[in-house]
A and B are shown apart, each in its own frame.
Chain A
Amino acid sequence: MSVNDVIMQAMRENGIDFVTTVPCKQLAGVIEKIEQADDMRHVPANREDEGMGLCAGAYMGGAKPAIIMQNTAIGVTINALATLIQFYRMPLPMLISYRGEVGEPVACQVEMAVHTKALLDQLSIPTYHFHNPEDAQETSAILSHCFMARKPVALLMDATFWKGA
């Protein structure tokens, strides 16, 4: 099974039915599958903090949300993470394309990559780094952990991982 299918299956196993996305080339395959899924609402957003508002509201209304984004967006979401997701104690799986790691063609992307883990650590967000395609097998358990803990949880998926897509 491709990592895209493993991720989709993990989301289904955890009852995720509301997914907001900002486009990403590495996550494009997953985004397409979400768009086509009958059992998931797909809500494209302009910015990732919009997406976090959407996920917070969806959770308040009884949905099980997730956000798909790039690590370059961590900066614009810090206030939403702290004062919305964390202040109200909500679960939020963050499926993050980890741009700027080995295999990255765009030098500018590296500039946020070097801050990504430090920022997530500063926010006390549990963070899992997927480097090998087989790491995708952990997705379901991590999503389950996220909803159990009612916290944002970050899954960083780098370029080497996506070779399994």
Chain B
Amino acid sequence: MLQRREVVAQINQARGQALMVTGLGSSSYDLHAAGDDDRNFYLWGAMGGAAMTGLGVAMAQPERQVIVLTGDGEMLMGIGGLATIGVQQPDNLSIIVLDNGHYGETGMQASHTQFGVDLPSIARASGLPVSLSVETEADMLQLCGALASQAAGKGGAIFASIKVAAESPERSLPIVDGVEIKNRFRRTLGLNPL
């Protein structure tokens, strides 16, 4: 089975100029472990809000690729957001779910994906043009290829669910101060940080 830290390191390496938004908990720790970056917007709360935050960034920055990295539980909490993405059809947005079938932050309770709920099917039915189920290293290469195509302006919005092992690697904690996370992200876009 794929390991979350390894796939996130691979995505981070392939990100190019992409802006990234992470869902609270392990997804944030994984991206931070892969390499802290001013272009990372780590969510510490707002569970269920990662995909919509990513859509907002993508619409405000149409020339930049935006990658949302989140967990299955976080995605399920804001599942209606996939329908909103399907309506908006942002060509520059990718939603990548690290699906371990569990709520890792709260004691590894089972999430709905363990019982057959298929996130890529929901994304497809919501109208996202590219929807991938990633289970092998070959699938990962396909995902990285899709991300590269998107960065080149081809292919439209991407959804990918990566099946990863249910493990809790040592936490790699991003900056805890929300205002600092916001300011450095906006500064890297040339915006007034405040």
The one of B19, B49, B80, B83 in contact with A52, judged by C-beta atoms closer than 8 angstroms, is B49
Q: How far is the CA of A113 from the CA of B60 in the complex (A)?
A: 34
How far is B86's CA from A46's CA once the two chains are assembled, in angstroms? 12
On chain B, the residues within 8 Å of A52 by CB distance are 46, 49, 52
Contact pick for B44, options A44, A47, A56, A87, CB 8 Å = A87
How far does the Cβ of A83 sit from chain B's closest Cβ, in whole Å? 3
Contacts of B47 in A (CB 8 A): 79
Determine whether the beta carbon of A80 is less than 8 Å from that of B182: no
The answer to whether A50 and B78 have CB atoms under 8 Å apart is yes
Cβ contacts under 8 Å, B54 to chain A: 57
Count CB-based A-B contacts (< 8 Å): 120
Any B CB within 8 A of the CB of A24: no
Question: What A residues does B178 contact at CB under 8 A?
Answer: 87-89
A74-110 contacts to B (CB < 8 Å): 79-80, 82-84, 87-90
How many residues does chain B have at the interface if contact means C-beta atoms less than 8 Å apart? 38
| Residues of A37-73 contacting chain B, CB below 8 A | 41, 43-47, 49-63, 65
A63 contacts B53, CB within 8 Å? no
Q: What is the CB-to-nearest-CB distance from A50 to chain B, in angstroms, rounded to a whole number?
A: 5
B55 near A47 (CB under 8 angstroms)?
A: no
Given contacts A60-B57, A63-B60, contact A54 B52 (CB under 8 A): yes
Tell whether A55 pairs with B56 under 8 Å between CB atoms, given A46-B80, A150-B194.
Answer: yes
Complex partner residue of B59 from A41, A46, A79, A87, CB under 8 angstroms: A41
Q: Is A18 an interface residue (CB 8 A)?
A: yes
B contacts with A: majority SS: helix
Contact (Cβ within 8 A) A57 B57: yes
- The CA-CA distance from A63 to B192 in the complex, in Å, is 12
Interface size, chain A (Cβ < 8 Å): 33
A54 contacts which chain B residues (CB < 8 A)? 52-53, 55-56, 59, 84
Q: Given A44-B87, A50-B81, A82-B45, answer yes or no on A60-B55 (Cβ-Cβ < 8 Å).
A: no
Does B21 reach chain A (CB closer than 8 Å)? yes
Q: Which residue of B lies closest to A87 (CB)?
A: B178
Chain B hits for A62, CB < 8 A: 60-61, 186, 189, 191
Alpha-carbon distance A53/B34, docked complex (angstroms): 25
Q: How far is the CA of A18 from the CA of B55 in the complex (A)?
A: 12
Give B contacts to A, CB under 8 Å: 19, 21, 41, 43-61, 78, 80-81, 83-84, 87-88, 178-179, 181-182, 185-186, 189, 191, 194
Question: Given A50-B81, A84-B53, 17 more contacts at CB 8 Å?
Answer: A49-B48, A49-B49, A51-B52, A52-B52, A53-B46, A54-B56, A57-B56, A57-B59, A58-B57, A59-B60, A60-B56, A60-B185, A63-B59, A79-B45, A83-B45, A84-B49, A150-B194
List 12 A-B pairs, Cβ < 8 Å: A18-B59, A45-B52, A49-B46, A54-B84, A57-B55, A57-B59, A59-B56, A61-B19, A61-B56, A61-B189, A62-B191, A88-B182
Residues on A close to B: CB < 8 A?
A: 18, 41, 43-47, 49-63, 65, 79-80, 82-84, 87-90, 150
